Every structure is written in structure tokens, then in C-alpha cells.
Amino acid sequence: MKISRRAMIKDGLLVVSAGMVMPAIFSRGIASARAQALEGSHIAQTANGRTLIVVQMAGGNDGLNTVIPFSDSLYHQVRPTLAIPDAQVLPLDTRLGLHPNLASLKKFWDAGHLAIVEGVGYPGQDQTLSHFKAMDIWQTLDLEGFGSQGWLGKLVAGLVDQDGHPFKALDIGVQTAQALSSISAPVPTLSSVESYRVYPDPADTDGGNARLQALMKLYTTYPSSSPYAALLDTTALNAQEGSRALLNAASNYHPAVTYPAGPFAAGLKVLS
């Protein structure tokens, strides 16, 4: 399978995690996979060839000092030592401004390419005292906190094509973000291009090729009546072909910009 770098991410949905992500909850029942895919298909019908990159910031970010309500006297009253001085705020209008270190984002705002959504919440959030349940609600959109699919996972289910394309969605991180959990569309998760492969045993003299061939042959031995055979076989093949395609695309990639050091920049480089 030959996939160009551009084709690999075209029409895709990519996620890079900034900080800790919650573990994903995966349930891959073939009987329910089709129904779950249909649930997201109506959302994905308007795909226009663009790539959506979602940056999940979990913990540590101070929202009120990111988008600052500098004209609100209460902001300064309750934050006598944390409030950003008005003279340092990058004003967006007469009410809100950005942290002084976000001058690069201010340029996007001035060009009309940045939007800010304020006051996002959900019914009954004041009664949710558990941080973990609140995270489950945020990432699954299930107000009870028991959802098995993420809000992005439902979208991905409607984007997956019938050709088994391995990179309709991609998660950069150590664990798949719960927001991307999906029954019908397993999402590849990797920390780097090099890490997305089958690792050989140090004792292998052929680089692990024989071990890989044996693994792939194993998936063909499942009884045809097995309800999970097709899913396991397809997932394994997609992972193997996806690894080859990703390594090939990365080897032909020549960055147009210089990426700074750090895991966040490294993740963005993989997505690009």
C-alpha cells in the first residue's frame, strides 16, 4: 500500500496531548460497530478536505490567565497576587485579553483566524465533586459519566472509509485519549514515528521479520465463525501497513519551519 504524506493525513482528525490524558475505554464488538459508525456518519458528511488538530490540555493551565477578563474588577479582587497587570495584557477587546506570552496567538485573532468560546460547561457541573467523573463527562459527553465512546471517537466512526485507511485519526501520546475512544474505529496512538512498529527481540538476527510474519499468520487461523476474527485481522493488518506508510512518509518529509525542542513540538512535527 503506497500512501503519500499528504494523503495520509487528508480528511483526518489528529490529536496531540499536552500533558496527562485519561485512559481510554475500548469495547470492540462487531455487532455494535456498524451502529456506532452510523451514529457518527451524519456528523462527518460535511468533511471538506481539512485536517482538525485538537490539543488536549489536561491540568496545569490557568484558564483565567490565558484568556483574561481584565476589565472585571472581581478578577483582580480574587487574584491579588496571580492577576496579570492590565498593562501587560494583550487586549482582544474592551473586556478580554490574552496572556503576554501569547503574542503569536494574538496575530491569529487579529487576522480573524482565532475564536474563543467562553463559559463552556454542562448541566449539574456544580454537583460533580469528582474530578475523574467530570473528566469522563467532558470526554464522552455522557452526563452520567459512564459513556464508552469519546465525543471525537463518534466523529471518527463516521470518517472511517471502507478501504481500511489506517490514519483517518491519529493520537500523539502514550495512551489513547478517552475523547477518541471508539467501538468501530480503533485510533493509532504513538509517541513518535519510530515507536509505531512491531519491536523485534534483541536475539532476532533478521530484525524481527520472521517474528512479524508468524504474528500475521496467527491472525489467519481464527475460525471464520469467530465474532472477533475479522476485527482482529483487520486491526493487525492496518497497524502493519500503517507503520510502513508512516515511516515512508516521515523519511520523505522536509520541514518548512524549525521546530523547537520539547515533546509538544515533536508531536506537532509528527502531525505535520
Please name the residue that has the C-alpha cell 452520567: 144
Q: Is residue 57 part of a domain?
A: yes
Q: Is residue 70 part of a domain?
A: no
Per-residue tens of pLDDT for the chain, all 272 residues: 343 434 433 444 445 444 333 233 222 333 333 444 444 444 444 455 677 888 888 777 888 999 999 999 999 999 999 999 999 999 999 999 999 999 999 999 999 999 999 888 888 888 778 888 888 998 998 988 888 889 998 888 777 654 555 567 888 888 888 998 887 777 888 888 877 777 677 777 776 778 777 777 776 676 666 666 666 666 666 676 777 777 787 888 888 888 888 888 888 888 87
Q: Is residue 160 part of a domain?
A: yes
Angle between helices 151-159 and 30-44 (to 10 degrees): 90
pTM: 0.64
Q: Which range of residues forms the domain containing residue 187?
A: 5-61+104-271
Quote the number of domains for the chain.
1
Specify which residues 97 forms β-bridges with.
Answer: 68, 91
Q: Is residue 77 part of a domain?
A: no
Q: Is residue 262 part of a domain?
A: yes
> In this structure, what C-alpha cell is assigned to residue 99?
496572556
Q: Is residue 140 part of a domain?
A: yes
CA 183 – CA 9 distance, rounded (Å): 21
Do 69 and 95 meet the contact criterion of CB atoms below 8 Å apart? yes
Q: Is residue 27 part of a domain?
A: yes
Q: Is residue 89 part of a domain?
A: no
